[in-house]
Amino acid sequence: MTMLLSIENVNKAFGRGTIHENRVLRDFNLVLNTGDFVSVIGSNGTGKTTLMNCIAGSYGVDTGEIRLGDMVLNKQPARRRAKYIGRVFQNPSTGTASDLTIAENMAIAWRRGERSGLGRSVDAGLRAMFKERLEFLGLGLEDRLDVPVRYLSGGQRQALSLLMATLRRPKLLLLDEHTASLDPNTSLQVMELTDRLVREYRQTTLMITHNMQNAIQYGNRLIMLHEGHVVADVSGAEKEGLTVPLLVEMFRRQANGDLPLSDKVVLTA
Amino acid sequence: MDIIFSSVAQGLLWAILAIGVFMTYRVLDIADLSAEGTFPLGAAVGVTLIVQGVPPVAATILAMVAGMLAGLIAGFLHTKMKIPALLTGILMLTGLYSVNLRVLSNRANLSLAGQSTLMRTLQAAGISRLASTAIVGTIAVGLVVVVLTWFFQTEVGLSLRATGNNEVMAEANSININLMKVLGYMLGNGLIALAGALIAQNNGYADVGMGTGTIVIGLASVIISEVLFRPKKIAWHLLVITIGSILYRLVIDLVLTLGVQPQDLKLFSAIVLALVLWLPEIKRLQGKEEDRSIK
């Protein structure tokens, strides 16, 4: 196993030097190996999304180092990191451009990390390739290449976002509660699709979820954040044996009796 | 009949202004008031160059380049100095007022009497004054629509549209959103200055005050076209803006013939725009249209 992502002693606070100072990530450490599919759970405000934003480059970190392979990411702006990191957001509207067509959205994902010139953005060759990729989703989107994305349902948009995020086989895929705003049925479909994509591409993936069942069911590793730290890291046979009640009990212990899970998590479990 | 033909001919020239406003307002989703300064800038540069003996075609192109430079500065203010778009526009139109006076050699206006213009070149070949306006307008709008339609289908053009449509998505796909915004500012203001140069040649003079109200004219043309035609494809959008611009000109010319005094015209055009901007909301309240709010 080779190390892909390493986060070393990262600190990230908001409102530093004010009475509202909020230290979100505290001496945070995490290592992901190539091929890992890691679920991240933890209550609201515990630093999950901040972690994603620091990896993707939406925020800089205060101290510490984030490395991808042998590259130090700290100084690279988000758009440079996007060459190596694919991202799907919680809100289905965030990952796609609603006024552009499916083909145009995919063309933008296809150009990721490359220089744009005055060449035609969508040609017949690309359309054929996009169609083929869209067939993988099994949603019939391959016949709607020229439909603006705004006419797609939330689930369809998330499926398309997933496809776009993985189109260039990024080194790392970040999923930020990407099924949380979908209805239960659609959420299940998008989760199944995620699992298929990750398996087919052997895609190294970091997935935030509020759904404990999903966290247990998918991926080879599960980590739990609490107050800016990793408080549990479960993989292999131990993860295989996890159940929702076990997980709740484990976290209760880790956080010294303070149940570090929002009501929402327990309810969706 | 003559009035209608005159409105159509002038509407074609004004359409280029509207397309320039469309670039920032719709494509980039930025309300850019720089238009009020770059429109007279184009007029001043074009007219001054012609008076100095530069051929009208070259003077017109250089006027457009001047507008693009102004757009570059506006883009720098907005993306690098992080000045909000509205303030960027106000700074630009304020600063450009002095620049335009300088370009006009510290005069408030400059006449093209006795000079060659694009329109007069055609008139010399025996074409009527109105027809020369219409021909220049058609060629200019045609070129702009064809070039922009092509451009929006290129990789860069698509990146520009994505930036205006969804910045987060654009950045997550490694698009340099600041660069795209600067490019949009340059294209938009270049077109607006081009319109200024053409309209000054048609009027026979450049005036430092001719920028007042241009943003209203441009926006009204864009919104009229959207309310009437609901364009989906961008090429079609550019074409219907031209129609919107002609319709707006017809309304203005109509009210002038109905007895509205010229000094009341700006008030009238502001009222027209307010009503036009209200239309989508009225339709929405009637439940007829999906929400496409005006930002």
Query: Which is nearest to B144 in space by CA: B241, B244, B248?
Result: B241
- Write the residue in B165, B171, B175 that is nearest to A98 by C-beta: B165
Residue B214 — pLDDT band, cuts 50, 70, 90?
Answer: very high
Global pTM value: 0.91
What the block records as the tokens of A51 is 């972690």
> What distance in Å separates the CA atoms of residue B67 and residue B172, rounded to the nearest whole number?
31
By a Cβ cutoff of 8 Å, what residues of chain B touch chain A? 151, 153-159, 161-162, 165-166, 168-177, 232
Give the start-to-end residue ranges of the domains of chain A.
3-96+152-268, 100-151
Per-residue confidence of chain A (269 residues) as pLDDT tens digits?
688 999 999 999 998 888 888 889 999 999 999 999 999 998 877 889 999 999 999 989 999 999 999 899 998 999 999 999 999 999 999 999 999 999 999 999 999 988 889 999 999 999 999 999 999 998 999 999 999 999 999 999 999 999 999 999 999 999 999 999 999 999 999 999 999 999 999 999 999 998 889 999 999 999 999 888 898 899 888 888 888 888 888 777 766 655 555 544 544 44
pLDDT value for A229: 86
Gap between the Cα atoms of A42 and A213, Å rounded: 13
Mean pLDDT of B228-237: 90
Those of residues 132-171 in A touching chain B at CB distance below 8 A are 148, 164-165
Average predicted confidence (pLDDT) for chain B: 94
> What residues form DSSP beta bridges with B206?
B110
How far is residue A254's CA from residue B150's CA, in Å, rounded to a whole number? 60
At residue A180, the pLDDT reads: 92
pLDDT above 60 for B295: no
Q: Using a CB-CB distance cutoff of 8 angstroms, which residues of chain B are in contact with residue A80?
A: 174
pLDDT at A261: 54
**In A161-216, at which residue ranges do the beta strands (DSSP E only) sit?**
172-176, 205-208
By C-alpha distance, which of A7, A46, A12 is closest to A29? A7
Over 80: is that where the pLDDT of B293 sits? no
Which of A80, A89, A121 shows the shortest C-beta gap to B158?
A: A121
Mean pLDDT of the B154-158 span = 97
Mean per-residue pLDDT, B45-73: 98
Report yes or no: A3 at the B interface, CB cutoff 8 Å: no
pLDDT of amino acid B288: 58
Q: Check residue B53 and give its pLDDT.
A: 96
* Neighboring chain A residues of B232 at a CB cutoff of 8 Å: 148
Say how far apart CA A165 and CA A58 lie, in whole Å: 16
Q: For B132-146, what is each residue's pLDDT tens digit?
A: 999 999 999 999 999
Supply the pLDDT for residue A258. Answer: 56
Give the per-residue pLDDT at B134.
Answer: 96
Q: Tell me the pLDDT tens digit for each residue of B260-288.
A: 888 998 898 899 889 888 888 888 888 75
Residue from the list A87, A94, A111 with its beta carbon closest to the beta carbon of B155: A111
Distant-in-sequence, close-in-space partners of B273: CB < 8 Å, separation ≥ 6:
B216, B219, B220, B223
Which amino acid makes up residue A269?
Answer: A
Q: Beta partners for A30? A: A7
Residue A259 is predicted with a pLDDT of: 54
Chain B, nearest residue to A165 by Cα: B173
Please give the distance of CA A58 from its chain centroid, rounded to a whole number: 14
Give the best residue of A89, A99, A167 to mutate against chain B (max B CB count within 10 A): A99
CB nearest to B162's CB, from A97, A117, A118: A97
Q: Are B189 and B34 in contact (CB under 8 A)?
A: yes
For domain A3-96+152-268, give the CATH superfamily.
P-loop containing nucleotide triphosphate hydrolases (3.40.50.300)
